[in-house]
Amino acid sequence: MNWPLLREELALMPGPALADGQPSWTLHDPARNRFFNIDWPTFEVLRRWSFADAQAIVESVRQESTLALEPEDVERVTRFLGENQLLQARPGNARKLAERLGQMQGSRFKWLLHHYLFFRVPLVRPDAWLGRWQGVAGRFYSRGFALLTLGALLLGLGQVARQWDSFTASLVDTFTWQGLAAYGVAVFLVKLLHELGHAFTAKRLGCRVPTMGVAFLVLWPMAYTDTNDTWRLTSRWQRLRVAAAGIVTELGVAAWATLAWGLLPDGELRSAAFVLATTSWVATLAINASPFMRFDGYFILADWLDMPNLHERSFALARWKLREWLFDLGEERPEHFVPAKERALVAFAWVTWAYRLVVFLGIAVLVYHFAVKAIGILLFMVEIGWFILMPIRHELRAWKERWPAIRGRRRSRISLVVALLLVALVLLPWPGRVTVSGLLRPIAVWPVHAPGPAYLDALPHAEGDVIEAGEVLVRLAAPDVQVRRDAAAAQVERLRWLAASAGFDSESRARLQSAQEELATAETALAGLDQELARYQPKAPFAGYLYDLDPDLQAGQWLGSKERIALLVGREGYMVETFLDEEAVKRVALGDTAAFVSDGGEGGRLDLVVRHIDADATRVLANGMLSAQAGGHILVRERRGQRVPERGVYRVVLAVAPPLERLAGRSWRGTVVIHGGWEAPAWRYLRNAFAVLLREASL
């Protein structure tokens, strides 16, 4: 056998103890600056690699240690070394190496695809510079500076709490072009300090920092620092310090900037402190601390759990668990953990997949909208294909390889039936149910008000009395109007007498024409006052029932102008009014049945029938009871004192069936459930997708 040789420049150094207590070692490839963590059996095989025989290595390990290795274990180590290019090239293998290199690089399209999705641009080699500035940087690692920063944080948060209105106003003021430019500069400075935090901490612990630069994730720039040399560290807590250094640096900047904002007077310096503070807080908590992408939060969690390659290992465990749930294959676990840790890793993998799905979809949409249409569509497809469809394809390929075992398992048949049922539930039509808030109110209602200041002369009806059309509801007296009416009547009588006596002398006859004109004016004024007095004797415009009478009202009591006295509710019955968005209104037609239950339970369940659907969207919501601010379902915004719906909504009127003449109240808000036409749930989403595609294709 032609035994392969290890590359001579490889370095083997002690590593941290593994979670099960066994020692580990770190294999360093200096040509690529890559580190490989190897376990005890692999180390024992590498120690005896010069034996150049698998059986000899196995026998030596068995004699000199407690390990019981087999030749297959040596073959496994050989494959590991070959796949990671840790072996010397053999003479005559140039073609094979070229083929392997070609497979790794792929086609030009694949190269372009990889470099579009992610690539790095090293800018500086800071290792020597970091060494020269270690003395200055060391002051920021002292306990005293940490306590000062903690004190600054507490004082700054106290100032923010005291000046919260000013702080929020400053946030709103930054949403300008100048404010956005300031945020851009602040992000650059904070990220520079973030990366310097990683670099100085790694150098302080004796590691080499070969490069710093900019990495591009889907053309989005991010600063990076090459801290791979931290794998030389045997303590995971030291690696954890390097991983957390960037976040700690940003939090320190945020603490001091927050204190500066609270103490500085208004001006440019205070605005700069505000921008630094908010940028640091948001960048740290919303982005860097996330463990679901390969940011600082991920490396902190991996070092804290002492689990290198946390994503890959949890993903492998989650894929194994998924296959066991679906097919019960009985395969060996990728790794063995205690049950609680295994469940936590599986849950972490699922949450990471869901998080990445949302993030990658968002990135794809942004790329599509901010690029030229043709290029945007292509890049959108690349994003969806690479980040979403490719992992699904790999898993389906794994199922295909296991198809003989899958086909024979009982769990597989159960999973197939469940999958078919789920597909059927999505594709088969379901009765359409539209659930919204609605307002139950009388069809005809007429409030009774005092037209002006008056006193109650008589109240001939009681609460709930039946009222006929034209019947006087209440008798009011308005002395001021009555005095003016009496004066107008006296004026009319005087003018009539003058007109009647105009023929007795020449002077009276000369004034006849003007007297007649004055009489006509006075009679008009008198008629107007009579009409005004009639308003103080309001009559029912329709037959109905009288409600909302104040039980304390008594004859002789004074009432203010426009003061409400009672409410006349007609006998036409009740209706329910609601508003549906464009998607929901398509599923509702005239004659559809519905049900209404008030929020307070008054009246029980009422059966309804759709009687009217507006053809045009409602531009202004007249009744605020159905707005989201009041507990309804319609999102509105205030504009010039009116409630304007955020989305197009259509007014729908439903009649109560059978008609109700009277209830224990007047108007209630409740829940309306409309039984619309049957529709497959998937069709709604497909229709929306086709509409979006047609709209975008027309641009």
Query: What is the distance between the terminal CA atoms of the chain, rounded to a whole angstrom?
Result: 66
d(CA 632, CA 623): 11
Phi, psi (5° rounding) for residue 608?
-130, 165
Residues in the chain: 699
Q: How far apart are CA 53 and CA 320, in angstroms?
A: 35
**Residue 256 CB: number of other CB atoms within 10 A?**
19
Residue 693 CB neighbour total at 10 angstroms: 10
Domains of the chain and CATH, by start:
11-105 (no CATH), 108-307 (no CATH), 309-408 (no CATH), 572-679 (2.40.30)
User: Lowest mean pLDDT: which of 198-212, 340-354, 430-444?
Assistant: 430-444
Residue type, 191: K
Closest CA relative to residue 532, chosen from 470, 454, 464: 454
Q: Which DSSP letter does residue 331 get? A: P
Average pLDDT, the chain: 81
What does the radius of gyration of the chain's CA atoms come to, in whole angstroms?
42
Kind plus residue range of the DSSP H or E element containing 583: helix 582-585
- Report the range of poorest mean pLDDT among 111-125, 325-339, 424-438: 111-125
> What phi, psi does 635 have (nearest 5°)?
-80, 125
Q: How far apart are CA 290 and CA 312, in angstroms?
A: 16
Q: What per-residue confidence (pLDDT) applies to 290?
A: 83
For range 50-79, the mean pLDDT: 88
> CA-to-CA distance for 550 and 487, rounded, in angstroms?
34
φ, ψ for residue 613, nearest 5 deg:
-130, 120
**CB-CB contact of 184 with 212 (8 Å):** no
How many C-beta atoms surround the C-beta of residue 531 within 10 A? 9
Question: For residue 569, which of 439, 441, 440, 446 has the smallest C-alpha distance?
Answer: 446
Close Cβ partners of 34 (under 8 Å, ≥ 6 residues apart)? 28, 84, 228
Beta strands in 41-157 (DSSP E): 118-124
Residue 98: band (very low, low, confident or very high) from pLDDT cuts 50, 70, 90: low
The predicted-structure confidence for 223-260, as pLDDT tens digits, reads as follows 889 888 888 888 888 888 998 998 899 889 888 988 88
More confidently predicted of 673 and 112: 673
- Tokens 């372009």, located at residue: 112
- Pick the more confident residue, 417 or 160: 417
Neighbours of 293 (CB within 10 A): 16
- Give the closest residue to 122 by CA, choosing from 194, 40, 212: 212
Minimal CA–CA distance to 489: which of 536, 528, 452? 528
Is residue 522 a contact partner of residue 425, using CB atoms and an 8 Å limit?
no
Instruction: Please state, as a whole number, how many other Cβ atoms lie within 10 Å of the Cβ of residue 160.
Output: 17
Tracing tokens 């029912």 back to the chain, one arrives at 540
Q: How far apart are CA 663 and CA 571, in angstroms?
A: 11
Classified as helix, coil or strand, 435 is strand
Which residue in 42, 74, 81 sits closest to 58, CA to CA? Answer: 74
Give the global pTM.
0.62
Which stretches of 501-580 are DSSP H helices?
Answer: 506-510, 512-535
Q: Is 598 helix (H, G, I), strand (E, B) or coil?
A: strand
Tokens 């400075």 belong to residue: 189
Q: At what angle do helices 268-282 and 236-263 cross, to 10 degrees?
A: 150
What token pair was written down for 441? 């109110």
Report the alpha-carbon distance of residue 641 to residue 206 in Å, rounded. Answer: 66
Report pLDDT for 388.
79
Q: How far apart are CA 126 and CA 130, in angstroms?
A: 6
Structure tokens that stand for 207 in this block: 């590691």
Residue whose token pair is 């699922």: 350
The structure tokens listed for 319 are: 């894929």
pLDDT reported for residue 324: 92
Question: Is 669 a residue whose pLDDT tops 60?
Answer: yes
Neighbouring residues of 371: CB distance < 8 A, sequence distance ≥ 6: 379
Query: What tokens were used for 110?
Result: 């694949």
Report how far apart, in Å, the C-alpha atoms of 516 and of each of 489, 507, 527 are: 15, 15, 16
Please write the tens of the pLDDT for every residue from 306-343: 888 889 889 999 999 999 999 998 888 888 888 999 99
Q: Of the ranges 115-119, 175-179, 447-451, which is most confident?
A: 447-451
